[in-house]
Amino acid sequence: MGQKLPLSMQEIWSIRMRLQNIGNLRDLALFNLGIDSKLRACDLLSLRVSDVASGKEVQSRAIIRQKKTKRPVRFEITARTRKSIDEWIEARGLNESDFLFPSRLHSSPHLSLRQYGRIVEAWVSSIGLDPTAYGTHSMRRTKATLIYRRTKNLRAVQLLLGHTNLDSTVRYLGIEIDDALERSEQIDV
C-alpha cells in the first residue's frame, strides 16, 4: 500500500503511445485528462461533457467543484488532451449533458472507481511497471510532481491541487520539509 508513485515523463509517453497505437480513444482521453486535470478519481470520473466543452469545442481551461473539499479547482486542458477528448466525444456521440466517461453498465452512469483502478493497472502493467506501486492517485500526483520538480514552486502546486494547507502539499509531494521551507522562503508572495 502506501503512497502511490507518480509517472515519469518517459512512462507517460510510453502509455500514451501504446493507447494511440491500439486506437483506444476512451482510454487515451481518460489518461490525458487524468494527467492534465490533477483531479481525484471521483471528480475525474463524474465529469460531464459540459464540464470540459462548450458547444462542440473542448475548452483550454475548466473549473469544477471538488467532492472532497467542496472547493472549486481550475485546470488547464492541453492541446493534446483537447484533441483526444474531442475524438472520444465524437466517436461515442456524447451530448453536453452526458458523462464524459460513461459506464457500459446500466446500473452506473459513469465508470466506477474500481473500473478506473483496473484501467490504470492495465496501463502501467503494459509498459512493464509494478501495478502495486501505481494507482489512480498516481494520475493526480504525476503532473503536480513534474511541476514541482521543474519550478520548485510549492505555492503553485498547492493552488493547482486545491490544497488549503501548504503542509498538505509538502506531504503530498513527498518532499523533505527542509527542502520545502528553503524553497518557500525563496518565493516572494
> pLDDT tier at 174 (50, 70, 90 boundaries)?
confident
Name the burial class of residue 79, with classes exposed (0-12), middle (13-18) and buried (19+) by CB atoms within 10 angstroms of its CB: exposed
Instruction: Name the nearest CA neighbour of 16 among 103, 80, 62.
Output: 80
- For residue 50, give the amino acid letter: S
Transcribe 92-159 into DSSP letters: HT--TTSBSSB-SSTT-SB--HHHHHHHHHHHHHHTT--TTS--HHHHHHHHHHHHHHHH--HHHHHH
SS3 of 75, please?
strand
Taking the C-alpha atoms of residue 68 and residue 70, their distance in angstroms, rounded to an integer, is 6
Residue 184 has pLDDT above 90, yes or no: no
| Structure confidence at residue 81 (pLDDT) | 98
pTM of the prediction? 0.88
How do residues 103-153 score in pLDDT, each as one tens digit? 987 778 999 999 999 999 999 999 999 999 999 999 999 999 999 989 989
Residue 77 has pLDDT above 60, yes or no: yes
- For residue 111, give the amino acid letter: L
The CA-atom distances, in angstroms, between 11 and each of 66, 83, 124 are 27, 20, 8
Its CATH architecture, for the domain 9-138, is Orthogonal Bundle (1.10)
Q: What is the mean pLDDT of residues 87-102?
A: 96
Q: Where are the domains of the chain?
A: 9-138
Transcribe 12-62 into DSSP letters: HHHHHHHHHHHT-HHHHHHHHHHHHH---HHHHHT-BHHHHEETTEE-SEE
Taking the C-alpha atoms of residue 123 and residue 129, their distance in angstroms, rounded to an integer, is 9
72-76 and 61-65 as β-strands: parallel, antiparallel, unpaired? Answer: antiparallel
How do residues 4-30 score in pLDDT, each as one tens digit? 899 999 999 999 999 999 999 999 999
